[in-house]
Chains A and B, each alone.
Chain A
């Protein structure tokens, strides 16, 4: 097998290199020698997840009274015990797979995650969670900053975004993350065949290799073209991945299948971004009925994550993988007139992986409508955060990525009792 590394660009604002071929060789070798990599999967639940329907405080009398049509009945939850404040909690009944993972001690649930004065705007909220900066949320993504901090040259496939456009969390100043929603469709086409097509491809590659000087906005597009062309062949290997089990046909299921494939083929990617949407459940949230809106959201989440977890386990990759979820906000506690819930505040985060110390972290809110209830805010309308989401990030950064969270997050957010890794 031929191992070629070819450095394209030196200097310039977007100086990264294109590693053409066959790092899988390196990776296979490394793995045969027992070396492990650390892969991070970011899962975004789009729209603001109603964590009170996902992790139900089913014995809280206000849970049923404030959510007459939405509360998960105590008899139907999948019990996962009590948290440190002695509140009994249960997973949504459709999360049978996550229950299995929880029981294996490989799923951590961090309750009441958020930040002070939490935004109820989807877009500002996503920006804040993406940048880890509630004050100035227009900067680079926290994962993007991590990629920027890696020693140069950075492999253009170091990150893999399974959606069509670049999410804010992956925005970096000089690391371009490829968007590959379907490895099978990731190829360079040509109006001609044979030698003419080859000449077009090599010309496109040569053009992309000369980054324009002093035009950073144009250079950004160059970086994207360069990364696309430089990674085609490696991505093509992922399309041939044969998983150990069938993944669900959902977008999330197929995205996680590609992630597992990239890991299995050892193409060098370390950070993955996947998403599933539909959590903006203003009306007809329908938590409990089979095929109700929220019920289906849980089904999509559960089936995709369980397949991913078991596939990684079968492939011996589980210990190399950490998945972290986020959503822009939780939802109001009291249901609205449309059997739905409006934008709220704190929510919950999930952390899953072979090295995770599973269990319940943080405490559930009391849902009492007393305006002085310290676990709630906004006149007891919304859940008040207990764990700053940046403390969860800090644990991931320090404990998994092995870099300094204080530097990456701009302040010390380390929190004791949050040792899920």
Chain B
């Protein structure tokens, strides 16, 4: 007998992942909640072989002209990430990577505009193992640090090639410091708006003077690539004083130091930001909205507790996420379906619920754009607005139309599944069958009535193959396109 109820497993996997494939459901229902959270959080114990499944039968397809090159072609990179979200056995790693992508939001277009399309994809998406110069793109860096130490993550972000291009670190010179990164690392990446002054922005810009990129080697050599370099000649060596503590003793001033050792300024500053209590609270509140609930006010008890775990663990996101996923707030009835799904969450969950055999994830890219979310292309450095803003009418229509195209694509599979389950004999049996397959937020009785009326429309029920294909796809279209299904 199952140890954890299906609805609990589904809730956990909607949040810590992208919904439940049938195999995930059968795996997790045999575990206790503690075991399930352990498996999700300690994903390092599982072999990460999802990329080797791309192109194999039985999995979602991809569409490429020529060689599949996610390390240099952004459309391929988008397909690979969607594929991973569907088929990974480490769902929380993918979910956290998406969380960090939104948190450290960097847009491919600006990188591609500065360095070229292939290079843009490289610095966003390449895996070091597949790149001739061992370049690790930003999203791979975020994936590797998905449940790592937040201070290390912040440091890696400050040195990340795409980020340095994105927030203009390349032109942060000591004579005229460039404020873009200095501002955003405080406003969006750590302490949050309202917790720093304009003088802090000036000082932060000076801290990062000299944090730049270099591209040594021979032009035309495929191993040649941009990488982080500290350029001592461009570093402002004067002291920098902030309005908040940088050092554990409460010191607010980064001392003047020689140019050669000036990179330590940035390290000290990042340490100070990571240790700042407002960073802890800012992250905890963001985690609440992403993993627990978007409805109602942010739960202050939760934020205080999670912020405490963050600080006590020395910024260990694994410890933080374990606490989040085991928290009473997460498991409270009111948290079920209390989030507006992001477009990628909606698309991937629909693939897991409806089926992927014979579906190419490439066909989801344009619908995702119409829904308002393009992977590797957040609208700006603040990431996606999320919540209700996903549900402008055009975006809602795009969700309904994606449901339509997926249901149409899976028409034969759906009809066969209905037959195999012996649920094609009556409209009621089919409705009950899909009610189990496609779980939504609770529906009012009127919804069930209308769906049932739909199955009865256009003539008597015969259970013929043609009718099953039409009705199964039509019903799945309506269910996946329903407002209730948009909540996770």
Binding site for B on A (CB under 8 A): 46-47, 119-124, 161, 163-166, 171, 176-181, 185-192, 195-196, 199-200, 203-204, 206-208, 210, 212-213, 217-218, 220-222, 224-225, 227-228, 231, 280, 282-284, 334-340, 342-343, 378
16 A-B residue pairs with Cβ-Cβ distance under 8 Å, sorted by A, are A123-B188, A161-B392, A178-B393, A179-B392, A186-B397, A189-B401, A191-B404, A192-B408, A192-B470, A196-B474, A200-B454, A203-B453, A207-B451, A217-B294, A224-B393, A342-B179
Which among B173, B390, B458, B477 is the interface contact of A190 at CB below 8 angstroms? Answer: B477
Q: Which of B364-383 contact A (CB under 8 A)?
A: 369-372, 380-382
A337:B397 contact, CB within 8 angstroms: no
B391:A204 contact, CB within 8 angstroms: no
Nearest A residue to B339 via CB reads A217
A208 to B382, CA, bound (A): 32
A216 to B454, CA, bound (A): 26
Nearest B residue to A161 via CB reads B392
Known contacts A178-B392, A181-B394, A228-B396; A207 and B458 CB within 8 A of each other: no
Which among A191, A200, A225, A342 is the interface contact of B483 at CB below 8 angstroms? Answer: A225
A122:B481 contact, CB within 8 angstroms: no
Q: How far is the CB of A311 from chain B (nearest CB, A)?
A: 23
Q: Which residues of A contact B176 (CB under 8 A)?
A: 334-338
Nearest B residue to A231 via CB reads B393
Given contacts A180-B394, A228-B393, A337-B171, 4 further A-B contacts (CB under 8 A): A166-B388, A178-B392, A204-B400, A340-B171
Which among B173, B193, B474, B478 is the interface contact of A124 at CB below 8 angstroms? Answer: B193
* Interface assignment of B460: CB less than 8 Å from any CB of chain A: no
Q: Which residues of A contact B294 (CB under 8 A)?
A: 217
Q: How far is the CB of A212 from chain B (nearest CB, A)?
A: 5
Query: What's the tally of chain B residues with a CB closer than 8 Å to chain A?
Result: 70
Known contacts A282-B168, A336-B179, A337-B175; A221 and B454 CB within 8 A of each other: no
A161 to B394, CA, bound (A): 9
Interface string of B156-174 (1 = CB under 8 A from A): 0000000000011011110
A218:B474 contact, CB within 8 angstroms: no
B392:A283 contact, CB within 8 angstroms: no
Q: Which residues of B contact A222 (CB under 8 A)?
A: 483
Which among B380, B397, B407, B487 is the interface contact of A122 at CB below 8 angstroms? Answer: B380
Interface string of B338-378 (1 = CB under 8 A from A): 10100000000000000000000000000001111000000
Known contacts A164-B392, A164-B394; A208 and B401 CB within 8 A of each other: no
* Interface assignment of B329: CB less than 8 Å from any CB of chain A: no
A283:B393 contact, CB within 8 angstroms: no
Q: How far is the CB of B122 from chain A (nearest CB, A)?
A: 21
B393:A207 contact, CB within 8 angstroms: no
Q: Which of A119, A208, A213, A224 has the most CB of B within 10 A?
A: A224
A191:B407 contact, CB within 8 angstroms: yes
